[in-house]
Structure 1
Amino acid sequence: MEFSWVDLLASFGAGLFGAAIGALPAFILTGVFVVLGTIAVFGNTSFDVINNWGFGPLFGPHTAFGGGVAAVAYAANKKYMEDGKDILTSLSGLDKPIVLLVGGLFGALGYLINAGLVAVVGDYTDTIALTVVISAVIARLIFGHNGLFSVSEEAEKRGRFTPGGEQVWVEYQQEWLQNITIGLGVSILSAWAALAIEPVAPEAANFFGFGLAAMSLIFFQFGGKIPITHHMAIIAALGATTFGSLLVGIIFGVIAGILGEVLARLFLIHGDTHIDPPANAIWVMTTVILVSALLIQ
């Protein structure tokens, strides 16, 4: 990945736009362009829609979503809104240009962080997912009030890893059997799709399930009780294609689902800003898969 001032400027615009429409709507658009990019590959397009739009400066989670996450943290810090974890609300409705500019700055920061990570550890992890997490941690340390790991008195009594009250991520997905069951279904579909696509379009194989899962969050945006599964989908696909095994992909996908919930309880539910559980699970599990494959070879 070569540094580009044009891409840096585009990333600023993406972060600003992500703040304006809301972090989750921006991420849903990521899913849309990843799916469109997969279809475009089948049409033998010469333009890489997946990496230029879906994961590039315009709609990449590290720019548009990351900018939206930081902007809502800033807005809550300034008392423009109550919930610094509200990634659904379109912040243009606040009529506070400074909030949108903060989103733009973090979009540009996301581009810079990702470029650095690609140069250093690009072959061993998902740098975009890791960038989303690093950006969110920076936003919490700057704009949050209760630190990275602090918990309330109520949570201390209940236990850090026992969600309750308003301190939950996705209430209907947090029970372990439910989580594993959802992960099983999503992982089967995504791993199967990846292995089916790989012989024809290997550059798109790992992303189709992720794109569909991200797109499905449009129903979550409008109040549907939709499971959050893109971390399960992308890891199942990566595991399947890396090791050439549907079963291995399914196992990794289910583990990613469990890890996402664990990381939500560690970083998200007790905090006052958003640190994304799926992104956290994706970079950890990608590292596990890629390093394992390297050691096995």
Structure 2
Amino acid sequence: MIDQLLDLAEIIAAFGGGAFGAALGALPAFIFTGFMVIAGEAAAITGVEGADAITANVAFGPPFSPAISFAGGAAATAYAARRGYIDTGFDYHEAKNIAFALGTKPDVLAVGGAFGVLGYWLTTISAQFVGGMPYDPIAMGVVLSALFHRLILGYSIIGKVRGSGILDMTPFEREERRPAADVATDGGEAEAQADAAPAAAAQTGRFAVEPWLPHQYKWANVAAIGAVAGLLGAYVAISTESAFLAFGISAATLVFLNCGVEQIPVTHHMTLPASTAAMSVYDWGGSGEFFDPNLVTYQDGALLAAQPLEVALLVGLVFGVISALFGELFQRVFYAHGDTHWDPPAAAIVFGTFVVSIMYALGVFPHTVWVPWF
């Protein structure tokens, strides 16, 4: 693990990936992750030699790994907002404006690059510690990178809770606004905001509570889209023998959200766990030979081993729902009251893939597909 952490070529490439993510903006960079996953998985399905490198080295490597390019872009956005570089009239704090391309400012690119390297290290530690921690290491890199950018840049971890409790979204529904006096003090930022007066002034009148997706935060609605995305993710995965294609499709659809199309759902944190869970329980011939024996251990006696397609689809539905609901829970705690983007989908993917591992450990699932295991 130490050798990989200190791999100079990977570190340099990760710096470039994080800086490029800052230049494009975090969300546009992630959309390109989706495009590259589609390209890589489509090439692999059709048997193109070397196609795996597109997914592994480009989509999930230094150029567009979410832990590198997206996380670097999110950190750079938080930095740029702190410095007063962003004034777009965004409804929330400008540090949450991850659709905004940050351009070519050297200091912003440097911050993105530094967090790209951090994301590379965080991913490597998760993937290699004790043979691999039992969750998606890239998603965990995104989650931990956001924690570090809040701590390093002086933002509050959670923010000031308003309403009747940390999970209460009703102040947003009532269109309640924050007092102007809160602008300079939210998240313990008074001193830093004094150095960025224009940015601070632009935040006057922010909503008291800021749901991650104003069109996708009600529990029933979140569960409904989770069920739909889970079903489709499971079907795509089994039909194509790819755990990642549905994730790529979900990520690519965010191009419409980035372009301002209203009501576009965010579903990649539903389709990826659903795809993985469905592939785990599906009957590939009863032997598990479809899967790489170097990655997983097949349990013939697992409770849900070798299930028909109908059962696999229902398992995907369940994982789509629970991952969607966990993402919503995470956003209510760590996004809605804070000032920077802390990605609910990444946290939900960590949770969903960890549950796949737990199901394997309990003897319910016969294997973990691609999720690392001790």
* TM-score normalized by the length of structure 2: 0.73
Distance 1:270 1:150 in 2: 5
* Residue ranges of structure 2 left out of the alignment (5+ in a row): 88-93, 176-206, 283-311, 367-374
Distance 2:274 2:154 in 1: 33
Instruction: Kindly indicate whether residue 39 of structure 2 is the aligned counterpart of residue 36 of structure 1.
Output: yes
Equivalent residue number for residue 168 of structure 1: 211
Equivalent residue number for residue 73 of structure 1: 78
Instruction: State the Cα deviation string for residues 93-139 of structure 1 (Å, max 9, x = none).
Output: xx531011100111111111111111116251100000001011000
- Give the length in aligned residue pairs: 285
Equivalent residue number for residue 361 of structure 2: 294
Equivalent residue number for residue 190 of structure 1: 233
Distance 2:56 2:154 in 1: 32
Which runs of structure 1 show a deviation greater than 2 angstroms over 4 or more consecutive aligned residues? none
* Residue ranges of structure 1 left out of the alignment (5+ in a row): 199-204
Aligned partner of 1:151 among 160, 176, 199 = 160
Identity score, percent = 41
* AA aligned opposite 2:213: V
* AA aligned opposite 1:278: P
Instruction: Kindly indicate whether residue 313 of structure 2 is the aligned counterpart of residue 246 of structure 1.
Output: yes
Equivalent residue number for residue 99 of structure 2: 88
* AA aligned opposite 1:270: H
Partner secondary structure for residue 88 of structure 1:
coil
Q: Is the 8 A contact 1:183 1:253 kept in 2?
A: yes
Instruction: Tell me the CA shift for residue 11 of structure 1.
Output: 0.8
Deviates more, 1:130-139 or 1:236-245: 236-245
Instruction: Tell me the CA shift for residue 294 of structure 1.
Output: 2.4
Instruction: Tell me the CA shift for residue 77 of structure 1.
Output: 1.5
Q: Is the 8 A contact 2:159 2:339 kept in 1?
A: no
Instruction: Tell me the CA shift for residue 158 of structure 1.
Output: 3.4
Distance 2:150 2:279 in 1: 35
Aligned partner of 2:137 among 127, 130, 138 = 127
Instruction: Kindly indicate whether residue 13 of structure 2 is the aligned counterpart of residue 10 of structure 1.
Output: yes
Distance 1:136 1:68 in 2: 10
Instruction: Tell me the CA shift for residue 5 of structure 1.
Output: 1.8
Distance 2:30 2:352 in 1: 20
CA RMSD of aligned residues (A): 1.5
Question: As a proportion of its length, which structure holds more helix?
Answer: 1
Equivalent residue number for residue 51 of structure 1: 56
Distance 1:285 1:189 in 2: 16
* AA aligned opposite 2:137: T
Aligned partner of 1:256 among 323, 334, 337 = 323
Which structure has the larger Rg over C-alpha atoms?
Answer: 2
Aligned partner of 1:61 among 60, 66, 70 = 66
Distance 2:41 2:164 in 1: 45
* TM-score normalized by the length of structure 1: 0.92
Distance 1:222 1:57 in 2: 25
- What does 1:278-293 correspond to in 2, within 5 Å? 278-293=345-360
